[in-house]
Structure 1
Amino acid sequence: MSIATNESPTAPSSNVVDYLQLIGGEFRAASNGGWIDSVNPTTGQVWARVPAGNTDDIDLAVAAASAAYEDWRSTPAAQRASILRAWARSVREHADELWRLDSTDNGRARVETSPAILGGAGQIEFHAGLAETITGETVDISPTASTYSVREPFGVVGLIIPWNAPLAMFLAKVSAAVAAGNTIVVKPPERASVSVLAAARYLADAGLPPGVVNVVTGEGSAAGEALVIHPEVRKISFTGSTATGRRITEKSTSNLKVLGLELGGKSPHIVFADADLDAAAISVSAGIFTGSAGQACIAGSRILIERSIFEDFVDRLRIIASRMTLGDPLAESTDMGPIAFDTQFEKVREYVKVGSAEGATLAFGGRSGAELFDEASPLSGGYFIEPTLFVTDDNTSRICQEEIFGPVAVALAFDTEEEAVALANDSLYGLAAGVWSSDLGRVHRLIRRIRSGTVWVNTYRRLHWALPFSGQKESGNRPSNGPHALDEWLEHKSVWIEHGA
């Protein structure tokens, strides 16, 4: 494994910048004057601060969104689309600034954040086009009546977005909800809010009226919970861990909110002996040893390998991992950045210990933090964990069943197609899966039998806004993306007009 030491991370600790919330078209500090430090995970140093918003800030933001709603829902779809397209242009114009902030804030390497910003602009434009396609249906029920349906926005909706890809999720979710005519309160992740607050600055320039989109930063236990239980928020869309999704579900029962949940995963990546093993090894590695250090809900963290090629394939993964470059996420040469923040770093390190304690064999990796860098390196205080692979035959173990959310994978051998399917489905999660095989019949059988919202065949981690994305089992309950992406943000209303014979 290569360690980058010649790149000096930007945003030194002596240059701490304050970013502000967006409420009712104004940028402002928290009502209580509190701040949250944003730590650069590459160095472990504070580089920015965001407001520690709480219930008072959420109340102000919801009030602003409520006040803006009637005018916004009445805005013609073509005008909403025009505003979104202007926002997309602005995102492209400021893409270099935005990806740098995103990478500095959560450590995700530029190899992922830079294209994600441009992809986000494309997704905004896609949703702008869908805004002009919202229709209902005419239903022929009675000769004496006109009966039809219309689709309407929910009203004020709350978005709680994750720390592993905050800006990409902000661009995608906000543009879809706004295109459908909703007004919004966004609660970004408290440890990675900066890029979201920066992107929000360009909404007014695009012509979005004040109050349509509001951004309140703060801890989940304060700002997040206040948003979930607020009586004027009709719907909550949450992307994050399954555990947090359960807590949101419990909190929302007091006023029966509509919930859209995109949750965790423990995705199987299945490799058969008849696959293109060179291509498979590259893709399997990239599916877990990512620019975001495996911090992706779709990470292929359970690698299922046909027994006849098991040792050979593990060796291929070891060679690829040894050639990866860990370092400053702003550098072009970096393949994998650090873990996003300290407590997640410690959590992943603990799972490495758990794997060994459970009797799994450490095939490679396992080192972290200062073990990876010279003491004089500016990266020695960063939250780095090297690509790590365990080998086990116990799919019931914690490292096989629990979402680690880091660059730690586990490899298991299988003998038959039937066993591969059983191992793949032996999980609470059902977000994604990968299959590598040249047998077309086998591929189609597995596509139908694997319980996951996405199945990639002879590729992995390929996403596009024109294709639906959803989870099964405990990985979520509402699809996003695709030609019906706005359905998540619209309610149905039936109309019956009796007019006689």
Structure 2
Amino acid sequence: MAELPEYKNLIGGEYRAAASGKCLDSINPSTGEVWARIPASDRTDVEAAVKAASDAFPAWSALPAAGRAHYLRKVGDIFRQHSEELTRLELLGIGCQARKSNVPSPAGGLAFLWDRAAGLTLDAVTGRSVPLDANTLGITRREPYGVVAAIVPYNSPQGMASSKASLAIAAGNTVVLKPPEQASPAILRFGELLAEVLPPGVVNMVSGRGADVGDPLVRHPDVRKITMTGAPDTARAIQRAAADNLTSCIFELGGKSPNIVFADADLDKAAYGVTTQAIYTTNAGQACVGGSRILIQRSILAEMLKRMKAIAEQIKLGDPFDPETTMGPLISQAQFDKVTGYIEIGKREAELVFGGRYGPELVPSRPGGFWVEPTLFIAKDNTPRICQEEIFGPVAAVIPFDTEEEAIAIANDSRFGLAAGLWTTNLARVNRFIRDIRSGNVWVNTYLQTRYELPFGGIKDSGYGHDDIMEFTVEKTAVIST
């Protein structure tokens, strides 16, 4: 048996094993096999990483904005130079299909995030001046928090790590990043490359189980800002832990987003949007922003279901490296068990429209993978669990409606508020829905069109704040009298 590759933490510019010497297995979700090993870190490793970040902070924060921008562009070059390797590691770790993966490409890919952060460094130091009277001037200046803890989800590890870390260090902070235990190798290899271009301690990475690494990290008194993308219950635990130190937090959490189709919509475009981009082919539905509640006006219900089924039948499960594959596996056995449990609940609560199968027979060439086919239910109303709870898999529910008022009521009947989709040609309706839907993001006649020039965040159980460079600074006021 070939020796498994073993990845290590990045602490103070050094590539280190866990202090305990323990490791965790990394599972390839398309085969179910162990393919790599990562450090099983604990409090000792967290302490070392936070100290390294604290030690690096004075020199890094004192760099002029142009100096930090220079380093950020060098990090962007890493993605351009190592895109093939980093793409391969991400696909092995999360099973996302190659042609839909949001990992780097030779054309630039995630290098853009680091280049963008480089261009924003000046914003992070720009303050205001306010004349108070003839002899007195008030000024403000933006300053970094210090050490930032960044906690990254498994469904887009390198993208989330890059977004959080690039903005935090562009603002003058230093970072301790916790990769997802289910998909750490790509980020840890990226950390090894980072050590070649960044000063030691500016970015540190510590892998391990959630409680073993995450808990001491968010409780650490030297961590002054936390940014986490993940589940609401995890955010609540972090917020309770962070309260002791009054640590500032940013949370981008789950969703149960409505995707609303009116009879006057372009039905071909809407059917494709609600079936592919919104739920199934985006990481096999493992996306907090997925439009998994599909609200369809009753007069076009039968026609839309027919079109959606035809599109779903073209989705191909399989090897993530196969260019013909359009949907990959779920990330782990635990997620497979959760999602298939919801499918069984859905069969009792609602009517199955298509799908509902799961297991090795879906991809006979890879029987160890965590395979679930695209699944759609139709519910009588918004009360079933499959309409209220985040499933985080390729499972969606259609809810019919008649009027605008009914659609708005259903859309807002959720503890989540991350996103919403609207398909219509009625401009007045568009304005009303953008105003009335309770969510952080609304897409009209499109879905999942995110751009880093625009903020992205949620309300209610979908969190608060944005991974924006200004969120990684605090404003100081001074008054000068002559």
The structure 1 residue matched to 2:118, chosen from 128, 131, 148, is: 128
Alignment partner for residue 313 of structure 2, among 315, 322, 343?
322
Picking from 259, 277, 284, the partner of 2:249 is 259
Residue 39 of structure 2 corresponds to: 51
Spell out the pairing of 1:333-372 with structure 2 (5 A cutoff): 333-358=324-349, 360-372=350-362
Tell me which residue corresponds to 2:233: 243
Please name the residue that 2:474 is paired with.
491
Supply the AA of the counterpart residue of 1:381: G
2:427 is aligned with 1:436: no
2:437 is equivalent to residue 450 of structure 1: yes
Report the AA paired with residue 281 of structure 1.
A
What's the TM-score once normalised by structure 1's chain length?
0.94
Deviation at 1:315, TM superposition (A): 1.3
d(CA) in 1 for partners of 2:415 and 2:69? 39
**2:369 counterpart of 1:382:** yes
Shift of 1:373: 3.2
8 Å contact from structure 2 (residues 253, 461) kept in 1: yes
Aligned position for 1:103:
91
Instruction: Find the partner of 1:332 among 323, 331, 338.
Output: 323
2:128 equivalent in structure 1: 137
SS in 1 for 2:130: coil
TM-aligned CA deviation for residue 202 of structure 1: 2.1
Instruction: Establish whether residue 33 from structure 1 lines up as the match of residue 21 from structure 2.
Output: yes
Q: Secondary structure at the match of 2:251?
A: strand
Q: Secondary structure at the match of 1:221?
A: helix
Report which stretch shifted further, 193-202 or 117-126.
117-126
- Residue 174 of structure 1 deviates from its aligned partner by 0.7
Q: Contact 1:34 / 1:52 at 8 angstroms: preserved in 2? A: yes
Matched, 1:290 2:277: no
Contact 2:317/2:362 (<8 A) preserved: no
Among 293, 297, 316, the residue aligned to 1:302: 293
1:163 shift after superposition:
0.7
Q: Tell me the equivalent position of 1:405.
A: 392
The whole-number CA distance in structure 2 between the counterparts of 1:93 and 1:346 is 38
Counterpart for residue 154 of structure 2: 163
1:425 to 2:412 alignment: yes
* CA shift for structure 1 position 14: 4.2
**AA partner of residue 496 (structure 1):** V
Tell me, in whole angstroms, the C-alpha distance in 1 between the residues paired with 2:104 and 2:336: 24
Q: For the residues of structure 2 that align with 1:95 and 1:112, how far apart are their CA atoms?
A: 15
Q: CA deviation at 1:77?
A: 0.8
Tell me the alpha carbon deviations over residues 12-33 of structure 1, each in whole angstroms, 9 at most, x when there is no partner: x845210010000000100001
| Distance change (3 Å), C-alpha of 1:402 and 1:241 | same
Percent identical among aligned pairs is 49
> Where does residue 187 of structure 1 map in the other structure?
178
**Aligned AA for 1:263?**
L
Rounded to whole Å, the distance in 2 between the matches of 1:388 and 1:45 is 26
- 3-state SS, counterpart of residue 231 of structure 1: coil
Gaps of 5+ in 1: 1-12
Answer whether contact 1:291 1:337 (CA < 8 A) is retained.
no
AA partner of residue 25 (structure 1): G
> Aligned-pair distance for 1:275?
0.6
* Paired residue type of 1:261: F
Deviations along 1:437-471, whole A, 9 cap, x unmatched?
Answer: 01111111111111111111111011111111111
Shift of the 326–158 alpha-carbon distance from structure 1 to 2, 3 Å rule, reads same
**What is the DSSP-based 3-state SS (H/G/I as helix, E as strand, rest coil) of the residue aligned with 1:260?**
strand
Cross-structure match for 2:10: 22
Structure 2 match to 1:3: none
Cα RMSD (Å): 1.2
**CA distance, structure 1, for counterparts of residue 121 and residue 359 of structure 2:** 47
CA distance in 2, matches of 1:114, 1:238: 19
Quote the residue 2:65 is aligned against. 77
Q: Quote how far apart the aligned CAs of 1:76 are.
A: 1.2
2:173 matches 1:212: no
Asked if the contact 1:338/1:384 (under 8 Å) is kept, the reply is yes
Unpaired runs of 5+ residues, structure 2, are: none
Q: Provide the C-alpha distance between the structure 2 equivalents of 1:459 and 1:15, rounded to a whole number of angstroms.
A: 46
The alpha carbon displacement at 1:114 in A equals: 5.2
Q: Which amino acid aligns with 1:55?
A: R
What TM-score do you get using the length of structure 2 for normalisation? 0.97
1:341–1:475 CA distance, 2 compared to 1 (3 A)? same
Contact 2:280-2:327 within 8 A present in 1 as well: yes
* 1:475 aligns to 2:431 (yes or no): no
Contact 2:456/2:466 (<8 A) preserved? yes
> Are the equivalent residues in 2 in contact too, given 1:348–1:406 (CA < 8 A)?
yes
Amino acid of the residue matched to residue 44 of structure 2? D
Give the letter aligned to residue 232 of structure 2: T
Letter in 2 for 1:144: N
Provide the rounded CA distance (Å) in 2 between the counterparts of 1:126 and 1:20: 28
Post-superposition offset of 1:142: 3.1
Q: Per-residue deviation at 1:115?
A: 5.5
Letter in 2 for 1:492: E
The worse-fitting range, judged by mean Cα deviation, of 278-287 and 112-121 is 112-121
Aligned to 1:409, the other structure's residue is in SS state strand
In the alignment, the residues of structure 1 paired with residue 195 and residue 69 of structure 2 have an alpha-carbon distance, to the nearest angstrom, of: 15
> 51, 72, 77: which is aligned to 1:89?
77
